[in-house]
Chains A and B, each alone.
Chain A
């Protein structure tokens, strides 16, 4: 565009420098795009190859005879520890954990953000500060006490089952993980909603109050209808974080049938028994990555906004 205008003053050399610059910039950008795409590409093509082709072929070549078998095997047959029933059960474990944890933590965050911005009381900054700092702690510093408590709750649940017949979910690994993710997720969800509601006109709330609307009426009729974007951001953020969690999952549901997806994947990949089936491993990794990748593809804009909101705190 601008190159059209310049030749009049600067003959060919100026145009050349500019063109060379553009070529270099585009070249570098393309090179980095390759760097970021490479591992995913390799994972994807490997998951469609036969073991024969993997051992004798090139990592980067496309599968000669694409086969869907590794995916089927990863889903339904591969061994996780001693049980060989595929990763499908663990995939559902993750879903059963993620859905309630996301819903509960998001709703609590919305209510907290509403209180901390529109119903302020003395010391609200301190309360928020304490909840905010909780987002940053290395979870190692709470891992052991939580394990102890969950252990006691589990024993209590077992004795309940013996006496009453049901444990009311106490001691169930999935319930435990939902609880843990809610507890350590409300800091972030509160932060998101607080910052969003901070910009929401307080006059509207006061006006509704004067008209006699109650605390929850204002929340339901005025705040919620205007919170769609931040709900999407928070849900995506929480979904990604909880789905991808490994530390809590391995500490509190590291063995048995209740493992979430990340732990199961790690077990599949790191088993030392038998022949390592790389194509099945890669298919399993793809299955574990798909939900969050799908969210990213469908709602990338909100995903980035969540990361940014989580990054620039306070």
Chain B
């Protein structure tokens, strides 16, 4: 880069007149030339590929892509399978799981994150030690988290066995092997990983609140509970929104955690739509159905993210 720039500088005095226009035009266009590759890459590999996936979802592709449009058959098949068909629809399992996982994961992370942030904000000694402890799981990959929790929740090796040894022999906890409860173990591991980060977001928000408002409320005789309920939590609304966006985004993209923690669960009972997409596209040779599920995932994200991004960008430019 630098060599180009310096050689141009040296050339200018000698070739001042004839080169001036070319050079200045180049200089004018240079910013765009620099940005162009990244922009082109984004347009092709993000938006082009999205269109490609949408196209595939309207074809009859199985193991290999086929490019003859056959209409929305893939979507009909996707939604046509129900719990009553044989085998029962993994798509409905996936979206039911998504509902359970998404709801609990977001709710518990928000609640726990806020709770921990409020506790940590009470002028705690050793905050510098506690905060990193709450936050470190975010640095781990979902695979490592899954491996650790798989071990911890295993009935024969982990928590259950430990409590048995301590004398609580009636304790029974086999959710990770139970097809009706396995998705809740994904919630536990997911909350463990992300709640510390949500705590950090809320803590940053709490630290940003003007101390004068708090003092004024205290002088007016507000109890601590009232203070938080009526004043602090409403002031944290923007943080709730950002945290919700982050969590919703993480929840919809969760894929690795299910794989590492449950290997999909008994009979695919822990699948999320992301797992469904992967399995159908790459393992069951149902490319069109896999693409259709990817399109539905994308639409869900779009519905959540686009209004948010739009308002953020508009606010910034105002």
Contacts and interface: CB of A to CB of B under 8 A. Distances in A.
A37 interface: yes
A296 B136 contact: yes
Interface string B124-162: 100000101111111111111101111110000111011
A30 B132 CA distance: 13
A251 B5 contact: no
B35 A115 contact: yes
Interface in B279-318: 281-282, 287, 290-291, 293-295, 297-298, 301, 305-306, 308-309, 312-313, 315-317
Nearest to B277: A140
A293 B140 CA distance: 7
Given A142-B49, A304-B200, A281 B147 contact: yes
Contacts of B273: 140
B143 A183 contact: no
Contacts of A220: 1-2, 5
B309 A314 contact: yes
A64 interface: no
B34 interface: yes
A220 B4 CA distance: 13
B291 A144 contact: yes
A141 interface: yes
Interface stretch (A4-12, A65-73, A163-171, A239-247): A239-247
B213 interface: no
Contacts of A240: 139
Nearest to B305: A136
A166 B119 CA distance: 61
A143 interface: yes
Interface string A26-54: 10110011011111101100100000001
B35 A112 contact: yes
Interface residues of B, number: 102
A66 B182 CA distance: 33
A208 interface: no
Contacts of B139: 240, 292-293, 295-296, 303
B100 interface: no
A14 interface: no
B190 interface: no
A108 B35 CA distance: 8
B38 A186 contact: yes
A11 B275 CA distance: 62
Nearest to B249: A136
Interface string A119-149: 1010001011111111011111111111110
A112 B36 CA distance: 9
Contacts of A101: none
Interface stretch (B78-86, B168-176, B251-259): B251-259
B231 interface: no
Interface residues of A, number: 90
B101 to A, nearest CB: 15
A283 to B, nearest CB: 11
Contacts of B107: none
B1 A216 contact: yes
Nearest to A131: B42
B192 A246 contact: no
Contact of A269 (B32, B260, B277): B260
Nearest to B54: A141
A314 B147 contact: no
Nearest to B256: A246
B202 to A, nearest CB: 12
A202 interface: no
Nearest to B39: A127
Contacts of A184: 45-46
Contact of A148 (B65, B158, B294): B65
Contacts of A222: none
A308 B201 contact: yes
A265 interface: yes
B252 A138 contact: yes
User: Chain A CB within 10 Å — which of B151, B242, B255, B273 has the most?
Assistant: B151
A217 interface: yes
B281 A278 contact: no
A285 interface: yes
A43 B148 contact: yes
B301 to A, nearest CB: 6
Contact of A58 (B47, B141, B165): B165
18 contacts: A32-B116, A36-B192, A59-B152, A115-B35, A116-B35, A134-B42, A137-B46, A138-B252, A140-B274, A140-B293, A141-B295, A144-B281, A145-B49, A146-B45, A183-B41, A240-B139, A251-B278, A311-B246
Interface of A: 25-26, 28-29, 32-33, 35-40, 42-43, 46, 54, 58-60, 108, 111-112, 115-116, 119, 121, 125, 127-134, 136-148, 183-184, 186-187, 190, 212, 214-217, 220, 240, 243-247, 251, 262, 265-266, 269-270, 278, 281-282, 285, 288-289, 292-293, 295-296, 300, 303-304, 307-308, 311-314
Given A39-B151, A215-B27, 14 more contacts: A54-B157, A59-B157, A133-B309, A138-B297, A144-B53, A183-B42, A183-B45, A186-B38, A244-B143, A281-B147, A293-B139, A295-B139, A303-B139, A304-B200
